[in-house]
């Protein structure tokens, strides 16, 4: 039993891009953090600066196996999130989403604690509703190359809400829209890291399709703020809640901004659009504003400048 406001918080996927920023934030808020990661896509480099903190603990573990620990809250972020990584071993990707969710829900049920699920805007698939609201049930191919991730996350959401209905488990589900910032893996295949690395190296800038498909880019610190506000909200706020930046850009616009900010001489080339690649993506964040008093504060140009500065250090 604890006699102060300090919590011991489990973060699965804690050595990943988002997980490391979340661990950092929770420590800054005065909590103890148990970072769990199998280091498939996460790296020790992301959390090296936290290792000397006496309130930080790291455990190598795969969430597809049960975990027996004593904690006060769970953030479940474990899952490869970029196409390059989640398509490398699609069966394991689905297992991580589904079995990982079952194991974290089981742990939360045993401990009677809140559990947070990092879901994704990919549950909307190639949307026919724009911008995407949480009530939209999506337009997803269940047997395509992206299905291991899309459907895995959709099934995880199903499990979370069934645990709430069947066991009255306190849950929080967030749907993450495109997020970027320092500690992104330079070769993860996501559009922001791809374009920045190509521009810094002077390589050709690769756009898929005509470059007119749209995305909405949320800086990592804004996303983490949304995570914490959702977790700290009342029991009636379960989600799913969209967390993302509602400002919409074409990929071509993004490429030109990256070229300008890196002062690159790279030229733009085009390749065929991958299967099931969404043509448009933009969150409706009305619920986040109303229920969490949250909206992003870092806009694209400022966020890209910070991210480019980080990637320069990795070259």
Residue 182 and residue 307 in contact, taking contact as beta carbons nearer than 8 Å? yes
- Please give the positions annotated as active site: 149
Closest CA to 67 of 44, 91, 38: 38
Closest CA to 230 of 149, 288, 170, 290: 288
C-alpha angle 238-243-248 in degrees, rounded to nearest 5: 150
| DSSP string for 253-264 | HHHHHHHHHHT-
Say if residue 110 is exposed, middle or buried (CB neighbours under 10 Å; 0-12, 13-18, 19+). Answer: exposed
Q: Tell me the C-alpha distance between 33 and 55, whole Å.
A: 6
DSSP state, residue 153? H
Tokens representing residue 308 in the block: 């480019």
Residue 168 and residue 208 in contact, taking contact as beta carbons nearer than 8 Å? no
């Amino acid at each position: 039993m604890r006699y102060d406001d300090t919590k011991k918080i489990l973060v699965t996927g804690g050595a990943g891009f988002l997980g490391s920023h979340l661990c950092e934030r929770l420590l800054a808020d005065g909590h103890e953090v148990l970072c769990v990661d199998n280091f498939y896509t996460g790296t020790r480099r992301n959390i090296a600066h936290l290792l000397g903190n006496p309130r930080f603990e790291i455990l190598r573990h795969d969430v597809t196996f049960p975990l027996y620990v004593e904690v006060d809250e769970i953030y479940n972020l474990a899952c490869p999130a970029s196409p390059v990584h989640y398509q490398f071993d699609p069966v394991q990707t689905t297992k991580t989403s589904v079995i990982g969710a079952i194991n974290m829900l089981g742990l939360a049920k045993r401990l009677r604690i809140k559990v947070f699920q990092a879901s994704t805007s990919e549950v909307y698939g190639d949307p026919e509703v724009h911008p995407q609201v949480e009530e939209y049930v999506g337009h997803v191919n269940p047997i395509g190359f992206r299905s291991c991730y899309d459907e895995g996350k959709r099934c995880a959401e199903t499990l979370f809400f069934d645990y709430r209905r069947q066991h009255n488990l306190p849950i929080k589900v967030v749907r993450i829209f495109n997020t970027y910032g320092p500690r992104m893996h330079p070769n993860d295949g996501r559009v922001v890291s791809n374009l920045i690395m190509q521009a810094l190296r002077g390589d050709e800038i690769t756009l898929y399709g005509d470059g007119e498909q749209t995305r909405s880019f949320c800086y990592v610190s804004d996303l983490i703020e949304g995570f914490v506000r959702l977790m700290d909200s009342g029991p009636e706020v379960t989600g799913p809640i969209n967390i993302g930046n509602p400002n919409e850009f074409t990929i071509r616009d993004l490429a030109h901004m990256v070229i300008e900010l890196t002062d690159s001489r790279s030229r733009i080339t085009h390749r065929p659009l991958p299967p099931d690649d969404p043509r448009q993506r933009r969150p409706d964040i009305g619920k986040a504003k109303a229920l969490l008093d949250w909206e992003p504060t870092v806009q694209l140009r400022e966020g890209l400048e910070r991210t480019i500065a980080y990637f320069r250090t990795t070259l």
